[in-house]
Amino acid sequence: MSDELTKDQIDDAIRQLHSHAGMLHEGYTQGVREYAMLSAREGLITLGFTNDDADQVLEEIARRGFDYCLDSHIACKSGVGIDPPRREYPSQSVCTWGADQLESRLASCL
């Protein structure tokens, strides 16, 4: 298992992921690329983070308030109208966002 990331390293990883998603969307708006879909984990791996590092970063993103369909390893509220709501682990297939959507959600975690 990799070492624990420091708070600064996690903050930097979130900023990098936010920037990466923004650059992907910018390519779309400029007509250079297709509309990009990605998961937060996929983005972190693309940026060179290990799965263990990605787990730490994703846990912090969830702690900061973005946990809904963030990753299959992060439980999120489920069951609209159920009191109290259940916490379930989503399928990774539903944890894929448009680059602009992921960028927007990550902005609240910076």
Residue 3 has pLDDT above 80, yes or no: yes
Residue 1 has pLDDT above 60, yes or no: no
Angle, CA of 24, 9 and 2, to the nearest 5°: 100
17-62 pLDDT, tens digit per residue, is 999 999 999 999 999 889 999 999 999 999 999 999 999 999 999 9
Does the pTM of the predicted model rise above 0.85?
Answer: yes
Residue 60 burial (C-beta neighbours within 10 Å; 0-12, 13-18, 19+): middle
For residue 2, the model assigns a pLDDT of: 59
Alpha helices per DSSP H over the chain: 7-29, 40-46, 51-63, 99-107
